[in-house]
Amino acid sequence: MIQTTRPPLRMPAPPATALAEAEALLDGQPHLALTKAEAILRQAPGFPPAEFLAARASRRIGKGKQALQRLDALARANPRVPAVLWELGDLAAETGDTRRAVAALQALTQVQPSIPAGWFLLARCLRKLGHAQDAWRADLSAIFASSHDAELLKAAAAVNDGDLDAAEALLKARLQRMPEDPPSCRLLGEIAWRRGDMTGALDMVERAVNAAPGFDLARDFLIRLLMQNNRLPEALVHAEVLIESPVPVAGHRLILASVLVKLGQQERARGIYEQLLAEQPDQPQVWQNLGHVLKTLGAQGEAIDAYRQAVTRQPTMGEAWWSLANLKTVKLGADDIATMETALASLDAADESAKEDVFHLHFSLGKAFEDAQDYHASFRHYDAGNALRRTMVRHDADSFTAEVRATAETFTAAFIARMGTGGCPAPDPIFVVGLPRSGSTLVEQILASHSQIEGTMELPEMMMIAGRLQSRVDEGEFADFATMIASLSPADRTRLGEEYIERTRVHRQTDRPLFIDKMPNNWQHVGLIRLILPNARIVDARRHPLSCCISGWKQHFARGQTFTYDLGEIGRYYRDYVGLMADFDAQVPGAVHRVIYEDMVRNTEEEVRRVLDYLGLPFEPGCLEFYNNDRAVRTASSEQVRKPIFRDGLEPWRNYEPWLTPLVEALGPVLTAYPEAPAA
């Protein structure tokens, strides 16, 4: 007898329309969706799509425990279905069942590693369990997955093309669907930064880092933003975190070193650079950075070696050549000149990427030919370097003169009297103001050799406070500068003064009661200083206008000082400075003490005693031996102030006299009246 095998009974397929109807009800009427799903399951027990629908509906009506049971069963039966694993991981995380969430999300990211949200959620869950390094790796995997996201790529392309509005609209719409999406937050932060909205940039990038602490690129960006805003202690905290990344990157240590340098922790920065070079010596940029730190620390011989290591490895590295020349005590010889000229010839000044090397090389050759006493060639290179640099900076001499005039017209004796008392009474700050290359570093070094005074550096805090106040005029809140200043109540001025004291505290490394802020440009804000820090002292370091201006014109500054790249403009700037200080002297006699550089050189002890009397401090012999002070010095005069005062070079302008007509004309009566101010 032939036996036949009977085919197994087949369950009737559930109607597709019923499942689709139930899905449509899920968001608006989850109770009804659950009812329909259960009806389907009665017809087809265990049917996965209906089980999945029932689980999601149960979750939406608050039956999380039942939903988890269904999802667990589904995941066991269907261990490679991403939607099931995501729902299980998300619900377990939501209900606090972190271990179950981690198991589901680990399975999900193995099956489908291209889903950023799965990695981000896994990172959060791992962090809750104390698995910090694993969480960090999960965040990094999420960022890698996001780098292939078509929507994010479109937004990033729009940002790079300058279409910030389109990118912003796309990213904000994405955040509506995916709140706290870290890559979207970081990109929105970049958009705010490109628009100059630093507050908005910081808010968005901090949001990205808070959402994904392992987002290294966002934390790196946040550190740079904090540094730009001089929030250095916060930047240091983040930099210390970044170097612990499970994916070590040399750049993380470099940015930590940058923060340390800004905080004045030069020795630790030196250690980082030396470690990086021990691991990989062929890094010209790191050699240059090490040179900067060694120069600041006074290790001149080692600094020279570091800079030469940089230019040996990369002869076109203009900044390293300029750093050598800028030591002032180093003379670049004929071989150096030949190497620099060859490097300069190989660069295209029209190439935007090469411009910095080109102007640095021109400045370096200017110094080299100056040392060789070929002043015509020296002037030619200085002039070329300044002309190129001038095309890269913004400076409106007319606008600046108008601002200075408005400041002088505001801070009259009558106005200051009307403002009455107010401001922070702290006597701590000593502001050393003037022009760059005026002898201010010498004054600072002398004062910092006193037992009661700490030298810090050129601090940006007063400039930032003044800039913030000026922005209120620029944005239309006040009609003009005088109206804005007059609006400051005594409490406002106290708060601003206290802000300055608090923000500069990070730069103070000793318990000395007084400290020096050597930002030269603070001469523009002597009136504001008087209002918000009435007990602060102001020392004006002044040098012969031709000597000061030609020295500034020959000096390439790493940042700021945009007025120095044209002889006529630097002459106007000096004239504006003398005019404002003369007006302030007339309105508030005795508030500012003036140190004439030439007098300090010729009669050092007498001038030191005068400035100490102004500060209310006793004379100390150590002030005359300032060159023995081993404090870090970060300005262009760092090597000169480590030697006794010398009288050579009091009139550096004479070597360039044939070419100084634009400067002489711009200075006008300020030149002939020196060291006094013109009558008008």
Q: What is the pLDDT of residues 308-355, one digit of tens each?
A: 999 999 999 999 999 999 887 888 999 999 999 999 999 987 788 899
Please tell me the CATH superfamily of domain 16-146, with its number: Tetratricopeptide repeat domain (1.25.40.10)
Q: What is the pLDDT of residues 21-34, one digit of tens each?
A: 888 999 899 999 99
Number of C-beta neighbours around residue 224 at 10 A = 17
- The CATH fold assigned to 399-638 is Rossmann fold (3.40.50)
Q: What is the pLDDT of residues 82-140, one digit of tens each?
A: 999 999 999 999 999 999 999 999 999 999 999 999 999 999 999 999 999 999 999 99
Give 626's pLDDT tier (boundaries 50, 70, 90). Answer: confident
Please tell me the distance from the alpha carbon of residue 197 to that of residue 205, in angstroms, as a whole number: 12
The residue-averaged pLDDT of 576-601 equals: 96
Please tell me the distance from the alpha carbon of residue 38 to that of residue 562, in angstroms, as a whole number: 75
Residues of the chain with CATH 1.25.40.10: 16-146
Q: What is the pLDDT of residues 470-513, one digit of tens each?
A: 999 999 999 999 999 999 999 999 999 999 999 999 889 899 99
Please tell me the distance from the alpha carbon of residue 186 to that of residue 192, in angstroms, as a whole number: 10
pLDDT at residue 13, rounded to an integer: 47
> Does position 7 have pLDDT exceeding 60, yes or no?
no
pLDDT at residue 54, rounded to an integer: 93
> Does position 261 have pLDDT exceeding 50, yes or no?
yes
Q: What is the pLDDT of residues 371-424, one digit of tens each?
A: 999 999 999 999 999 999 999 999 999 999 999 999 999 999 999 999 999 999
Q: What is the pLDDT of residues 657-675, one digit of tens each?
A: 999 999 999 999 999 999 9
Please tell me the distance from the alpha carbon of residue 310 to that of residue 302, in angstroms, as a whole number: 13
pLDDT at residue 645, rounded to an integer: 60
Which residues make Cβ contacts (< 8 Å) with residue 22, sequence separation at least 6? 33, 36, 37, 40, 50, 53, 57
Please tell me the distance from the alpha carbon of residue 631 to that of residue 634, in angstroms, as a whole number: 10
CB 430 within 8 A of CB 537: yes
> Does position 635 have pLDDT exceeding 50, yes or no?
no
Q: List the single range of 43-47, 543-547, 631-635 with lowest mean pLDDT.
A: 631-635
Which residues make Cβ contacts (< 8 Å) with residue 177, sequence separation at least 6? none
Please tell me the distance from the alpha carbon of residue 316 to that of residue 228, in angstroms, as a whole number: 28
> Does position 367 have pLDDT exceeding 50, yes or no?
yes
> Does position 429 have pLDDT exceeding 80, yes or no?
yes
pLDDT at residue 639, rounded to an integer: 47
Long-range CB pairs of 625-630 (<8 Å, 24+ gap) are 625/449, 626/442, 626/445, 626/446, 626/448, 626/449, 627/445, 628/449, 629/445, 629/448, 629/449, 629/455, 630/298
* Residue in this structure with the two tokens 């020295």, named with its chain if needed: 551
> Does position 573 have pLDDT exceeding 50, yes or no?
yes
Residues of the chain with CATH 3.40.50.300: 399-638
Give 152's pLDDT tier (boundaries 50, 70, 90). Answer: very high
